[in-house]
Amino acid sequence: MSSRPISPHLQIYRPQLTSVLSILHRATGVFLSVGTPVLLYWLLAAAAGAEAYATAQTLLDAGFVQLLLVAWSWAFYYHLCNGVRHLCWDAGYGFELSSVYASGYAVLGASLILTLLTWACVWSQGTSA
Amino acid sequence: MSLRSDLGRVKGLGSAKLGVDHWWLQRVTAVALIPLSLWFVVSLLAVFNAPHAEVVAWVAAPHVTVLLLALVAVLFWHVQLGLQIVLEDYIHSAWLQVTVQVALRCIAVLGALAGAVAILKISLGH
């Protein structure tokens, strides 16, 4: 593929809710994919025995890791809610521009609320002994 | 009458014909993941702080074992389908595309197998 000249786009078009949420769906998808090894690690540690599991719990309790887990949880809820939004489009619903914006804001709000609810649950329980 | 363009015929390119299947499977795995992943998150909130023995007992419960196996399988399938599209968008060289797509499928299968083995080790050894 030759390096032919193409029209500028990112330097020209102002970001809209539509385009931003769209790339965010892809970005959260990739970010979540990158996080699947962590899920595997937890499962494999549980399978390896109490000692390995205790090590895993300590690692997963670390501050930096907790931050990553918060990020992953928000990415998960966003990807889930926006995914449902996509499925509605696939079924033919919600294409009016006003609907697109309304559902877009709803997805952002819902993902934030779900993330906060989840971590309220986690932190109210305290860390493992 | 062939609908293939001259260019398509000449360059050996054209529809891969698997587009609709990919589109459909991505939707099917997505729909399956809605209840599966939500169930997993809720369950995780209940056991993340629990001692190892309790986690093992939870995984070993037959319905949990089944659902966890389903989750792992569908999740890695959805991941593979999604990343396939992303990679297709950004990789244009033919040999690199084939290499990366095959590697992606291998990693996805290995990931699903690792998850399944872990789940079965806990479940069957309990």
Instruction: Summarize pLDDT for B67-125 with one digit per residue, the tens.
Output: 999 999 999 999 999 999 999 999 999 899 999 999 999 999 999 999 999 999 999 98
Instruction: Judge whether residue B2 has pLDDT over 90.
Output: no
Enumerate the residues of chain A whose CB falls inside 8 A of the CB of residue B46. Answer: none
Of A37, A39, A50, the CB nearest to B52: A50
Using a CB-CB cut-off of 8 Å, the residues of chain B touching A54 are 52
Q: Which residue pairs, CB below 8 angstroms and at least 24 apart, start in B14-18?
A: none
Burial class (CB in 10 A: 0-12, 13-18, 19+), B78: buried
Kindly tell me the sign of the dihedral angle through the C-alpha atoms of A89, A94, A97, A99.
negative
Judging contacts by C-beta atoms under 8 Å, the chain B residues touching residue A29 are 82-83, 86
| Tokens coding A81 | 């809610």
Find, in chain B, the residue whose alpha carbon is nearest to that of A43.
B118
Distances (CA, A) of A119 to A14, A41, A74, B73: 34, 21, 10, 27
Question: How many other C-beta atoms are found inside a 10 Å radius of the C-beta of residue A49?
Answer: 11
Are A36 and B38 a contacting pair at CB < 8 A?
Answer: no
Q: Name the residue among B27, B34, B122 with its Cβ closest to that of A46.
A: B122
Q: What is the per-residue pLDDT for A129?
A: 39
Residues A36, B76: C-beta atoms closer than 8 Å: yes
pLDDT, residue B16, reads 74
> Dmax of chain A from CA atoms?
60
Q: What residues 63-122 of chain A have any CB closer than 8 A to a CB of chain B?
A: 76, 80, 83-84, 86-87, 90, 118, 121-122
Which comes out higher in pLDDT, residue B7 or A56? A56
pLDDT, position B4: 79
Torsion angle of C-alpha atoms A108, A23, A39, B37, degrees rounded to 10: 50
Question: Are A29 and B115 in contact (CB < 8 Å)?
Answer: no
- Give me B120's structure tokens: 């079965």
Tens digit of pLDDT at every position of chain A (129 positions): 568 888 888 889 999 999 999 999 999 999 999 999 999 999 999 999 999 999 999 999 999 999 999 999 999 999 999 999 999 999 999 999 999 999 999 999 999 999 999 999 999 986 543
**What's the sign of the alpha-carbon dihedral B30, B36, B41, B42?**
positive
Kindly identify which residue of chain B lies nearest to residue A90, measuring between CA atoms.
B27
Residue with tokens 């629990």: B50
- Please enumerate in sequence order all residues whose Cβ is within 8 A of that of A100, keeping only pairs 6 or more positions apart, or say none: A17, A18, A94
Average pLDDT score over residue span B26-35: 98
- Nearest CA distance, A110 vs chain B (angstrom): 14
Ordered DSSP codes for A49-95? -HHHHHHHHHHHHSHHHHHHHHHHHHHHHHHHHHHHHHHHHHTT---
| Closest C-alpha among B34, B69, B49, B71 to residue A56 | B49
Interface of B with A (CB under 8 A): 27, 30-31, 34, 37-38, 41, 45, 48-49, 52-53, 55-56, 59, 75-76, 79, 82-83, 86, 92-93, 111, 114-115, 117-119, 121-122
Asked whether the predicted pLDDT for residue B29 surpasses 70, the reply is yes
